[in-house]
């Protein structure tokens, strides 16, 4: 009996570690090194498909998905007031957000409704970078993951989660640097 109890503890710890590691919404690859002027302007540049070569074309995000994602990025950066102006078509912007989709699972709202939280879940991982436009140097970047596991949310909400995480983390790093002045 005691031997069985000793087996459960390591299994529980392993399960907990797996859940925690899967729930990270982002991994920062380039920390913000210096604050920038919040009055600066930012455009939303190209979001490319960096999915594996053998990824089935019918399962890739559509052009409409990517345009909606750009709208979410614009909205999230405006809501956090990171920049004075954010616009997808701003040619004279000082900064530009670009990215590439690394992983994508469309999921199914119907399956989420029928079978619960994780059946038919939607997931996207996007590598996003904030570039200084004149130099094309990466100022801030990371891999951001968005997931939808509720039947009450549409699959494209995963892109909204990514946009909010990106804007929130960028804003947090900027605030920390501004406080250090």
CATH number assigned to the domain comprising residue 31: 3.40.50
Whether residue 2 is contained in a domain is answered as no
The tally of domains found in the chain comes to: 1
Task: Give the residue among 154, 6, 179, 165 at the shortest CA–CA distance from 68.
Answer: 154
Specify the long-range contacts of residues 34-37, CB closer than 8 Å, at least 24 apart: 34/177, 35/174, 35/177, 35/178, 35/181, 36/95, 36/139, 36/174
- State the Cα–Cα distance between residues 29 and 10, nearest whole angstrom: 32
Whether residue 19 is contained in a domain is answered as no
Whether residue 8 is contained in a domain is answered as no
- State the Cα–Cα distance between residues 16 and 8, nearest whole angstrom: 12
Whether residue 83 is contained in a domain is answered as yes
Contacts of 35 (CB under 8 A, 6+ apart): 174, 177, 178, 181
Contacts of 36 (CB under 8 A, 6+ apart): 95, 139, 174
- State the Cα–Cα distance between residues 7 and 84, nearest whole angstrom: 56
Domain extent at residue 87: 25-179
Tell me which DSSP letter residue 24 carries.
-
Taking the alpha carbons at both ends of the chain, their separation in whole angstroms is 60
Whether residue 10 is contained in a domain is answered as no
Whether residue 142 is contained in a domain is answered as yes
Tens of pLDDT along the chain (181 residues)?
Answer: 455 555 555 554 444 444 434 456 889 999 999 999 999 999 999 999 988 888 888 888 899 999 999 999 999 999 999 999 998 777 889 999 999 999 988 765 555 455 655 565 678 899 999 999 988 899 999 999 988 765 555 557 889 999 999 999 999 999 999 988 5
Whether residue 3 is contained in a domain is answered as no
Would you state the pLDDT for residue 123?
84
Whether residue 12 is contained in a domain is answered as no
């Amino acid at each position: 009996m005691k031997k069985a109890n000793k087996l459960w503890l390591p299994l529980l710890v392993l399960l907990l570690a797996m859940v925690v590691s899967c729930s990270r919404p982002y991994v920062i690859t380039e920390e913000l090194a210096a604050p920038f002027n919040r009055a600066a302007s930012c455009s939303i540049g190209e979001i490319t498909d960096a999915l594996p070569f053998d990824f089935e074309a019918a399962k890739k995000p559509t052009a409409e998905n990517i345009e909606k994602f750009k709208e979410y990025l614009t909205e999230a950066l405006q809501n956090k007031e990171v920049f004075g102006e954010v616009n997808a078509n701003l040619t004279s912007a000082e900064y530009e957000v670009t990215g590439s989709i690394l992983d994508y699972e469309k999921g199914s709202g119907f399956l989420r409704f029928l079978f619960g939280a994780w059946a038919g879940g939607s997931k996207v991982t996007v590598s996003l970078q904030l570039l200084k436009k004149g130099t094309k140097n990466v100022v801030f970047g990371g891999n951001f993951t968005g997931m939808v596991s509720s039947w009450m949310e549409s699959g494209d909400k995963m892109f909204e989660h990514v946009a909010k995480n990106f804007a929130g983390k960028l804003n947090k790093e900027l605030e920390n640097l501004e406080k250090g002045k």
